């Protein structure tokens, strides 16, 4: 069966289906077999290397599993227009060697199971709505900060998408005074991803983020730049909740109070958003699913494929 894009939250089935999920990240890929966060039968992790090695490794795992549907979430940009000849493939990306890689058609032809594909951040956002901290919310978003920076925005229970999916992680924000780092994004230089993604931090500060002490002054620049992204998201969409995950933030949850204070200051008491700023303790935080948000995004897409 041909793959199709996931566009709506999946409604629970009477009996849980068995889903094979693939989360393709910039650094690692996760293959997971289950029906939700409380029903996981297997999970394996592979490094993300070149496309053929990576996809062949994932297929070797899937070949040993029995499943009802396949959900795929991936770093992007992805072509998600089902009428486009390149549907389900990766478009021009900073990830070396991956531009033009066909994911959906390859997997659909091999397994002939219902399949849905989405960006990793939208998948995680939908998983948060189904099982995590965004349950019951129609308007929310998930931000990942890892190898790249991505934003999955949900409005009215559906992913926000025009002629292409959003790339808010590449927006430009006002720079901190005296900060002259040129940025690490090969497309946009000092966009948000070029300033605060894992590789950008390593280049900017001369060592990986994991080696920077919690109280180091470098985090002030990180908070400043991420606050610029958050300010623009709140002024544009006022999400009911904003979850921030990914490898960088997963070990830096102590930054959330600083981000809340900086975002409240940035909103500056403007209009009805003054109330929003006063509610940031519950509106801005880590994903309810923790590090499972990404893999569960792939499971959610597989469930959607059956819908």
Cα 225 to Cα 3, 6, 229, 231, distances in angstroms: 37, 31, 7, 10
* pLDDT value of residue 307: 84
* Confidence category of residue 50, pLDDT binned at 50, 70, 90: very high
Residue pair 287/133 in contact by the 8 Å Cβ criterion = yes
Radius of gyration of the chain (CA): 19
CA angle 36, 41, 46 (to 5 degrees): 95
* Confidence category of residue 193, pLDDT binned at 50, 70, 90: very high
Phi (first) and psi of residue 6, to 5 degrees? -80, 130
* pLDDT value of residue 2: 46
Indicate whether 7 pLDDT > 90.
no
Judged by phi (left if over 0) then psi (alpha if -120 to 50, else beta), residue 206 lies in left
* Confidence category of residue 206, pLDDT binned at 50, 70, 90: very high
Residue pair 171/226 in contact by the 8 Å Cβ criterion = no
Indicate whether 272 pLDDT > 90.
yes
The pLDDT of 270-288, averaged and rounded, is 97
- Mean pLDDT is lowest, of 9-18, 60-69, 149-158, 201-210, for 9-18
Indicate whether 295 pLDDT > 80.
yes
Give the DSSP letter of residue 30.
E
Other C-beta atoms lying within 10 Å of the C-beta of residue 133: 19
Indicate whether 1 pLDDT > 70.
no
Model's pTM, two decimal places?
A: 0.92
Indicate whether 10 pLDDT > 60.
no
Tell me the average pLDDT of the chain. Answer: 94
- Mean pLDDT is lowest, of 13-22, 85-94, 103-112, 226-235, for 13-22
Using a pLDDT cut of 70, give the percent of the chain over it: 95
CA 282/CA 240 separation, integer angstroms? 9
Indicate whether 122 pLDDT > 70.
yes
Tens of pLDDT, residue by residue over 217-233, are: 999 999 999 999 999 99
* pLDDT value of residue 15: 75
* pLDDT value of residue 14: 57
* pLDDT value of residue 13: 44
Across 183-204, b (16+ Cβ under 10 Å) vs e yields bbbeebebbbbbbbbbbbbbeb
The pLDDT of 70-93, averaged and rounded, is 95
Phi (first) and psi of residue 155, to 5 degrees? -135, 130
Query: Residues with Cβ < 8 Å from 208, sequence gap 6 or more?
Result: 198, 201, 202
Domains of the chain (ranges; CATH) run 4-120+291-305 (3.30.420.40), 133-286 (3.30.420.40)
CA 118/CA 123 separation, integer angstroms? 6
């Amino acid at each position: 069966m041909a793959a199709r894009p996931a566009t709506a939250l999946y409604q629970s089935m009477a009996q849980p289906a068995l889903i094979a999920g693939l989360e393709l990240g910039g650094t690692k890929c996760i293959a997971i077999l289950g029906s939700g966060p409380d029903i996981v039968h297997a999970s394996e992790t592979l490094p993300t290397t070149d496309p053929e090695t990576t996809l062949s490794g994932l297929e070797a795992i899937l070949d040993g599993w029995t499943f009802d549907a396949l959900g795929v979430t991936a770093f992007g940009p992805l072509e998600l227009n089902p009428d486009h000849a390149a549907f389900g493939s990766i478009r021009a990306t900073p990830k070396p060697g991956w531009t033009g890689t066909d994911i959906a058609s390859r997997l659909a032809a091999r397994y002939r199971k219902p399949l849905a594909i989405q960006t990793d951040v939208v998948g995680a956002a939908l998983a948060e709505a189904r099982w995590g901290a965004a349950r019951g919310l129609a308007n929310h978003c998930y931000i990942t900060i890892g190898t790249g920076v991505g934003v999955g925005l949900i409005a009215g229970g559906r992913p926000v998408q025009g002629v292409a999916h959003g790339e808010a992680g590449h927006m430009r924000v006002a720079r901190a005074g005296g900060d002259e780092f040129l940025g690490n994004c090969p497309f946009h230089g000092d966009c948000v991803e070029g300033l605060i993604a894992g590789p950008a931090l390593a280049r900017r500060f001369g060592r990986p983020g994991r080696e920077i002490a919690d109280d180091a002054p470098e985090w002030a620049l990180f908070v400043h730049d991420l606050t610029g992204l958050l300010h623009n998201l709140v002024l544009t969409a006022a999400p009911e909740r904003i979850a921030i995950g990914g490898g960088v933030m997963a070990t830096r949850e102590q930054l959330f109070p600083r981000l809340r204070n900086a975002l409240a200051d940035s909103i500056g008491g403007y209009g009805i958003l003054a109330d929003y700023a006063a509610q940031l303790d519950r509106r801005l935080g880590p994903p309810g699913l923790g590090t499972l948000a990404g893999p569960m995004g792939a499971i959610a897409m597989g469930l959607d494929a059956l819908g």
